[in-house]
Each structure stands twice: as structure tokens, then as C-alpha cells.
Amino acid sequence: MFEYFPENYTWNLAVMSALNRGGAILEIDEACRPLKEASVRNDQFAQQAWYESWKKVAERVEGLGWVHEEAGQDLSAGRKYLRAGIYYLMAERMLNHRDPRKVQTFRQALAVYKKGWQLRKEPVEWVEVPFQGNPCRPSSPKRRSKGRPPAWFTLTALTSPRRSSTRARPRSSAEGDLPLDR
């Protein structure tokens, strides 16, 4: 298996997550290349370097999206915004949960994802699910036919692709609806 950071399992997992979500290898390399030495240290300064490097790439790609959007190239702009969203999520991934930039960066990711889906005219609908007094905001494809549509769920665990979109499709049978598959 490809390991960008052979000495750092957590960072490798994040790189694989970025690739699996649709990140561009050249942009991922741009974020990771300056982090080779820091990946071995894996201290608070390394985590800060991780955040800064991924956020820099996210901001650059988001800027490219803006340029394409201004030129009326909505599909191209949308792809760039979706990739920028991936990179913002990678940036916030290693921040301490008490760091105020974590929530701010996560919100940036959601905003550019939403913009990307809108520009690409993707059949995605944002929904809010109440959870312990706070809204959880998964996305769901818009209905195009009868029956329950597929849904995307947010996963939050360090050992899984964090905040990764996992698509679940409902199954049905002659007896009625069955639980969701993954």
C-alpha cells in the first residue's frame, strides 16, 4: 500500500482519505511534500504545520474555483470547490478539539462543498438532523423517483476516514423495506 508518511500511520490514513474522496494527487503532494520531516516528529508543531500546509492548498484550489466560476465555467469551478472542501477537512483533522480554528475550518469545508455541489447541479439536498441539541448536517441526494433515496452519513472516528461520505442505499423486497446497506 502507498504510504506517503511511512513513520506516521495517522497522517497516512489522512492522505488515503483525501485520495479516496477525490483529491488530486498533485495537490495532495503539494500539501504533503513540505511535511516529510514534521511527520516523524508528530508533535504540536508538526500538527500546526499540517494544518497550515493543507489550508494553504485548500485556499489556493478554492481561489481557482472562484476564477472558473467568474468565467462562467460552473462544472470546473464546482470540481475545484469540492476538492477544496476535502483539503479544508484535511487541515482541520489534526487540530486540537479546543482550537477555535477547527470549527471555523470545518465550516469553510462545508461552505465550499455546498457551493461545489450547487455549481455542478448535483442532486444533493442539505438536511439537518437534531442531535443532543445541535444540528447534524448530513447531505442527501434529491429524490428522482419513488422510494427512499440514498443517504450520506458523516463518520467521526480517527481510525476511519473522518467526516467521510459513506453512501447508503436502501434495499427493498416483496416483504417491504430492509435496513440500509453500506
| pTM for the predicted model, two decimal places | 0.77
The percentage of residues in the chain with a pLDDT greater than 70, rounded to a whole number, is: 70
Give the pLDDT of residue 156: 44
Instruction: Read off the pLDDT of each residue in 126-131 and give the average, rounded to a whole number.
Output: 70
* pLDDT tier for residue 123 given thresholds of 50, 70 and 90: confident
Tens of pLDDT, residue by residue over 22-81, are 999 999 999 999 999 999 998 999 999 999 999 999 999 999 999 999 999 999 999 999
Amino acid at 64: L
Strand partners, 126: 139
Q: Cite the residue boundaries of each domain of the chain with CATH code 1.20.1440.
A: 1-120
The Cβ-side half-sphere exposure at 6, using a 13 Å CA radius, reads: 0
Alpha helices for 42-155 (secondary structure H): 44-70, 74-93, 100-119
| Class of domain 1-120 (CATH, top level) | mainly alpha
Amino acid at 106: F
The whole-chain average pLDDT of the chain stands at 80
Identify which of 121, 128, 119, 88 has the alpha carbon closest to the alpha carbon of residue 105.
Answer: 88
CB 118 within 8 A of CB 104: no
